[in-house]
Amino acid sequence: MPSIIGADLKVVGNLVCESDIDVQGTVKGDIEATTVTVDKDARVDGSIRARSLIVSGSVDGTLEASEISLTSTARVTGEVVHETLSVDPGACLEARLSRASKERRIAQQIPKPRLNVPEPEPPAAKTAEREPPPAGTGEEKPVSAEADEEGAAKPASADIPEVFDRRKKQAAG
């Protein structure tokens, strides 16, 4: 069942839908869905990206779809990127036409990454165990088995000046 933008509805903003959208009203923004239908009295000012697109109304923007069909009442201005395009007699088309390349088709099939918020890491162990670098590299430094209040290992006092250690504690606290 498609999501319907009713004839008396004006949407200002982008629409993203994982199924179908039927535009009967006005949309000022971009639309992305599986199938988009722009009805006879509808108007879209923005880009439309879909697998299948049927336009009977007015669109001012970029149309990008595998299959695009413009009916006799369609009015399209902008750019049309397609694999297959059908234009009925009477349709008004003032656009730059380009056939979708193989690379673009592949890119359309790749799902967009979703915003993932990483979970906080578990607290560090109370003691730090680190393998020293190979002997003779000049990078040998003593390792301390002490831990601060948060459980992070403290380096030997000769490695980090006292001022840095204080700033680190202030930032953590």
Q: How many CB atoms lie within 10 A of CB 115?
A: 4
Minimum mean pLDDT range among 25-29, 37-41, 141-145: 141-145
Strands (DSSP E) along 71-151, which ranges? 75-87, 92-99
Greatest mean pLDDT among 36-45, 92-101, 119-128, 134-143 lies in 36-45
66/85 Cα distance (integer angstroms): 8
pLDDT band for 131, please (50, 70, 90 cuts).
low
Whether residues 148 and 96 fall in one domain: no
In a domain, 118, yes or no: no
In a domain, 25, yes or no: yes
pLDDT in tens, 66-114: 999 999 999 999 999 999 999 999 999 999 999 887 555 545 554 554 5
Q: Which residue, 84, 109, 134, sits at the end of a domain?
A: 109
**Which whole number is the average pLDDT over 168-173?**
62
Strands (DSSP E) along 29-165, which ranges? 31-32, 35-38, 43-45, 48-55, 58-70, 75-87, 92-99
In a domain, 115, yes or no: no
In a domain, 117, yes or no: no
pTM of the model: 0.59
Whether residues 76 and 130 fall in one domain: no
Whether residues 67 and 41 fall in one domain: yes
pLDDT band for 24, please (50, 70, 90 cuts).
very high
Whether residues 20 and 91 fall in one domain: yes
